[in-house]
Amino acid sequence: MTAEAAAPATHETAAAPPSYRVRAVGGIPEVRAGDDLARLIAAAAPDLVDGDVLLVTSKIVSKAEGRIVEAVDREAAIDAETVRVVARRGALRIVENRQGLVMAAAGVDASNTPAGTVLLLPEDPDASAEAIRSGIRAALGVEVGVLVTDTFGRPWRAGLTDVAIGAAGVRVLDDLRGGTDTYGNELNATVVASADELAGAGDLVKGKASGFPVAVVSGLAHLVVRGDNASGAGDGGDANGTGGLVGARALVRDPADDMFRLGTSEAIRTAVTQRRTVRSFTDEPVDPGAVRRAVAAAVTAPAPHHTTPWRFVLLESERSRTRLLDAMRDAWIADLRGDGKSEEFIARRVRRGQVLRDAPYLVVPCLVMDGSHTYGDARRDAAEREMFVVAMGAGVQNFLVALAGERLGSAWVSSTMFCREVVREVLDLPAHWDPMGAVAVGRAAEAPKERAGRRAEGFVEVR
């Protein structure tokens, strides 16, 4: 099977338009554990030349490397290969596997393998690609690029396509940033996944069930790097244009830059369970828009009688924060001295509020009882207020979780509840607004400590 592609000719140039050729390699026998893939490919494709790119289906790499395991239950095999669940819907799981790839079922394959067994992906696909490349060089004396490919689904796109999960001697990313387009516009974000484009081209002739596990792309020698390792260091530079990352690993997006790292329910659960109280902040300014988005999430909390009992006072200037915190400090000191506390005790209590001073942004959530009912007896009136306080807590929790979703750290401190009159006066708040603590907001200066595990069973009583 062969396919050819060529760019259309133009009137502006007399040079031949660029083109490439892709063909499947026939004659490769059933691969078994311990087989030398490079030798098998070299025997089936002795006409390989410098600059060709070999596209090798991961399934035969796994077979040669003995990655066939007994598994009566495929789900257990998927569990063993899973680092984290990205999204789940029924039995279908999109996960990050041990190779760092995000894909369905961790790449565990139960097809084209004996009953009761499954195929796992190669343990180190980049090393597998390099081994094939070195073997081809030794057998045929040619310098080729090698990609180990596997089939992926893609977000927002129907259907499957092959992508590169291992690479050796191939520029997996073509970084065009800093160049210009045909109109002279500077390219600021264009990084082409060349390895994935090659993998997709090869899949057109390999197919999913045609019995051709290897393809060759010819005519794109500029993507092949000469040298003795996957990075192409022998070519005098960073082959992948990725600051030193080598092989197909460079195609995996860094978690810090991944805007779609989790499915919806997993993102919500992660934001809730991984939210931490941050005690130290950087001086990086906080985006007011991010805080307002968090407020928008906060006011979706449930509340009694169709009321909206939340108000959020945003202290965006250093002057407003300092004025409030100074007044609160003075009020605390006066109260504690009135209680006969020692100066050492008072100093310790005041230091607890330092987290509010260190934060570049403060928010004071307030409870408003508009719409509450008055019953005329203490018991029912107290229960009415408790309902509103619970609604306020739900709003603050929404707010903190939404801040975490914005990658902002936070600390809820109850201090304003002990000097409400002072807070109302300094912030010029209505008399019926009850400050319910203060929330420090900012970028965490260090990673929070791991929280001790809490099992739900310890907090549940069943009747």
361-368 and 433-435 beta bridge pairing: antiparallel
Tens-place pLDDT, residues 240-273: 444 344 699 888 888 877 777 777 677 777 777 7
- Residues contacting residue 192 through CB under 8 Å, at least 6 positions apart: 173, 174, 176
**Nearest to 83, CA basis, from 261, 276, 268, 245:** 261
Angle at 286 (CA atoms; ends 284, 287), nearest 5 degrees: 130
30 and 152 inside one domain: yes
The mean pLDDT of 14-39, rounded to a whole number, is 91
pLDDT at 202: 93
Token couple for 188: 């600021």
Tens-place pLDDT, residues 201-214: 999 999 765 789 99
46 and 130 inside one domain: yes
Token couple for 336: 């504690």
Tens-place pLDDT, residues 360-392: 999 999 999 999 999 989 999 999 999 999 999
Tell me how far apart the terminal alpha carbons of the chain are, to the nearest angstrom. Answer: 67
Name the pLDDT band for 234 (thresholds 50, 70, 90). Answer: very low
Token couple for 318: 């250093």
Is the pTM higher than 0.75? The answer reads: no
347 and 245 inside one domain: no
352 vs 341: CA distance, rounded Å? 16
Which residues face 55 on adjacent strands? 147, 215
43 vs 230: CA distance, rounded Å? 23
Name the pLDDT band for 400 (thresholds 50, 70, 90). Answer: very high
Name the pLDDT band for 456 (thresholds 50, 70, 90). Answer: confident
Note whether residue 267 is domain-resident. Answer: no
Pick the more confident residue, 90 or 136: 136
- Provide the number of structural domains found in the chain: 2
Note whether residue 94 is domain-resident. Answer: no
Token couple for 368: 């408003």
281 and 166 inside one domain: no
Note whether residue 78 is domain-resident. Answer: no
133 and 217 inside one domain: yes
441 vs 411: CA distance, rounded Å? 7
DSSP-derived letter for residue 353 is T
Note whether residue 100 is domain-resident. Answer: no
Coil vs helix vs strand at 109: strand
Give the CA count within 13 Å in the CB-facing half-sphere of 442: 22
153 and 204 inside one domain: yes
Contacts 24+ apart (CB under 8 A), 175-181: 175/241, 175/242
Which residues face 244 on adjacent strands? none
237 and 287 inside one domain: no
User: Which of 201, 228, 257 lies at the terminal end of a domain, its last residue?
Assistant: 257
The one-letter amino acid at 325:
L
291 and 420 inside one domain: yes
- Residues contacting residue 71 through CB under 8 Å, at least 6 positions apart: 77, 108, 110, 116, 117, 118
What helix, strand, coil percent values describe the chain, rounded to 5? 40, 25, 40
The H or E element spanning position 56 is: strand 53-57
Which residues face 228 on adjacent strands? none
Note whether residue 352 is domain-resident. Answer: yes
Name the pLDDT band for 287 (thresholds 50, 70, 90). Answer: very high
32 and 170 inside one domain: yes
pLDDT at 296 over 80: yes
136 and 47 inside one domain: yes
Tens-place pLDDT, residues 119-178: 999 999 999 999 999 999 999 999 999 999 999 888 888 998 999 999 999 999 987 777
User: Which of 257, 288, 322 lies at the terminal end of a domain, its last residue?
Assistant: 257
160 and 295 inside one domain: no
Contacts 24+ apart (CB under 8 A), 341-347: none
Q: At what angle do helices 264-274 and 378-405 cross, to 10 degrees?
A: 110
Asked if residue 262 lies in contact with residue 180, where contact means CB atoms within 8 angstroms, the answer is no
Tens-place pLDDT, residues 444-455: 998 877 777 778
pLDDT at 127: 95
pLDDT at 1 over 70: no
User: Which of 226, 257, 288 lies at the terminal end of a domain, its last residue?
Assistant: 257
Rounded to an integer, what is the distance from CA 338 to the centroid of its chain?
52
Note whether residue 363 is domain-resident. Answer: yes
307 and 167 inside one domain: no
Buried b (16+ CB within 10 A) or exposed e, 110-129: eeebeeeebbbbbebbbbbb
Rounded to an integer, what is the distance from CA 198 to the centroid of its chain?
25
Residue labelled with tokens 């977000």: 155
Token couple for 11: 């009137």
Note whether residue 80 is domain-resident. Answer: no
228 vs 231: CA distance, rounded Å? 8
CATH of the domain at 173: 3.30.1330.100
Buried b (16+ CB within 10 A) or exposed e, 244-255: ebbbbbbbeeee
Segments forming the whole domain that contains residue 360 = 275-459
CATH of the domain at 439: 3.40.109.10
Asked if residue 357 lies in contact with residue 400, where contact means CB atoms within 8 angstroms, the answer is no
312 vs 292: CA distance, rounded Å? 9
**Nearest to 406, CA basis, from 310, 301, 288, 252:** 288
